[in-house]
């Protein structure tokens, strides 16, 4: 078995630079107003030199890199380029699994007779994507999907790493524990506190120890550290949800401010939903208090929608039902799921809902062309 993991390097930034070449070589941050309450969705390698990273509060990013170029981003363009990459990959690989908008697992098993040595073919694919679409990517090659993903991260940016079958554990051993997908800051601190700093140290410890500490996740963690991983390609990729959230610079109990934030998040999520030509059945909200207690609430509706007014009304209702503590709010988020394809009605006399949908589509196009602040769909 042999798998590729192809990861588009700084994908959102790369697309923005194609749309606006003057951004090349500059610290670019996708995430909106640097004085707002959002988070960094993506940042260029030049911006990362200042300590920026994804999910960082955008105000903190601005403090670290005030000279950066802050933009809202063009989600519909990200989708378009992602589909174009997938089309190229489907020419060569018998099975393509799209893991996210900017990463793909590719089954190369048995393809060496057709395309040759995997390393040199990876270079060919990398060159074609760069030449045809202007997008840089990194590729990891290994006997399973987990090691291939670690290998693609290891190669960034624009690199190729081939882990020879049988040398998975040897490749992983010296890497820090946080190089393992799924090991975030909290788990890293937990592992470090117990004396595990490298992946090899995890592999050398008894599997039962991690099962005792972390249950089923601990067993998977140990298997991964030993170089084991899935060999199944899931070719039925569907975007399962759209989420937008923001962390306040200062924790707040201001209901009016929180409602305004929810409205802005709904606008952003609704735009992404319509650009994918989906409607959502389930609408949810996420609240994180200043003491880091986090709660989520969701509601499934009978008729799916992509209407910001409907989504906002339900989200605001969920917020008021969920906000039961007299504690400041640190983070608020909006979550859409349960997708079904959107079908536009072509009636001569369209319903009010269809008229509103067409208005929203027009607003989306205006924002895409002239910027987010050009117009907004008011909700009473």
30: number of Cβ within 10 Å: 26
Distances (CA, A) of 329 to 54, 225, 326: 21, 38, 9
Distances (CA, A) of 48 to 27, 54, 348, 350: 8, 9, 52, 49
- Which residues lie across from 241 on neighbouring strands? 337
Among residues 46, 103, 245, 356, the one annotated as catalytic is 103
Tokens of 106: 């590719």
Q: Using an 8 Å Cβ cutoff, are 315 and 283 in contact? A: yes
Distances (CA, A) of 360 to 10, 214, 364: 29, 46, 6
Q: Using an 8 Å Cβ cutoff, are 117 and 123 in contact? A: no
Tokens of 271: 């735009």
DSSP for 195-246 reads: T--BHHHHHHS-HHHHHHHHTHHHHHHHHHHTT-------------EEEEEE
Nearest to 108 by CA among 34, 163, 63, 59: 163
Rounded-to-integer distance, Cα 123 and Cα 116, Å: 11
Rounded-to-integer distance, Cα 143 and Cα 200, Å: 18
Q: Using an 8 Å Cβ cutoff, are 342 and 274 in contact? A: yes
Rounded-to-integer distance, Cα 4 and Cα 125, Å: 11
- Which residues lie across from 362 on neighbouring strands? none
Distances (CA, A) of 241 to 31, 42, 94, 313, 336: 19, 19, 27, 19, 6
The verdict on whether 219 is a catalytic residue reads no
150: number of Cβ within 10 Å: 26
Catalytic residue positions, numbered = 103
């Amino acid at each position: 078995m042999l798998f590729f993991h192809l990861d588009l390097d700084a994908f959102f930034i790369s697309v923005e630079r194609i749309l606006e070449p003057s951004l090349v070589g500059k610290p670019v941050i996708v995430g909106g107003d640097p004085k707002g309450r959002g988070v960094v969705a993506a940042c260029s390698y030049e911006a990362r030199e200042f300590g920026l990273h994804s999910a960082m509060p955008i105000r903190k990013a601005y403090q670290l890199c005030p000279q950066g170029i802050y933009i809202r981003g063009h989600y519909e363009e990200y989708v378009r380029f992602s589909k174009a990459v997938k089309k190229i990959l489907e020419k060569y690989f018998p099975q393509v699994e799209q893991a996210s908008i900017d990463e793909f697992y590719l089954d190369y098993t048995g393809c060496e007779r057709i395309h040759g040595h995997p390393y040199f073919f990876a270079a060919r694919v990398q060159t074609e994507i760069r030449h045809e679409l202007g997008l840089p990517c990194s590729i990891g090659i290994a006997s399973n999907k987990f090691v291939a993903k670690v290998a693609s991260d290891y190669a960034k940016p624009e690199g190729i790493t081939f882990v020879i079958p049988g040398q998975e554990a040897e490749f992983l051993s010296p890497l820090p524990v946080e190089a393992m997908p799924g090991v975030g800051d909290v788990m890293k601190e937990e592992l470090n506190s117990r004396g595990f700093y490298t992946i090899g140290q995890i592999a050398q410890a008894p599997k039962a120890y991690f099962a005792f500490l972390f249950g089923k996740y601990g067993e998977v963690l140990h298997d991964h550290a030993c170089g084991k991983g899935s060999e199944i390609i899931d070719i039925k990729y569907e975007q399962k949800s759209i989420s937008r959230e923001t962390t306040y610079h200062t924790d707040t109990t201001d209901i009016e401010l929180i409602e305004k934030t929810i409205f802005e998040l709904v606008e952003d999520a609704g735009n992404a939903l319509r650009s994918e030509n989906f409607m959502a059945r389930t609408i949810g909200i996420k609240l994180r208090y200043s003491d880091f207690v986090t709660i989520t609430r969701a509601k499934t509706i009978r008729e799916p929608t992509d209407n910001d007014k409907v989504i906002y009304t339900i989200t605001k209702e969920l917020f008021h039902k969920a906000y039961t503590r007299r504690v400041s709010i640190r983070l608020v988020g909006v979550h859409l799921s349960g997708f079904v394809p959107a079908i536009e009605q072509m009636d001569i006399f369209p319903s009010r809902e269809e008229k509103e949908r067409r208005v929203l589509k027009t607003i989306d196009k205006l924002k895409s062309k002239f910027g987010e602040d050009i117009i907004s769909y008011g909700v009473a």
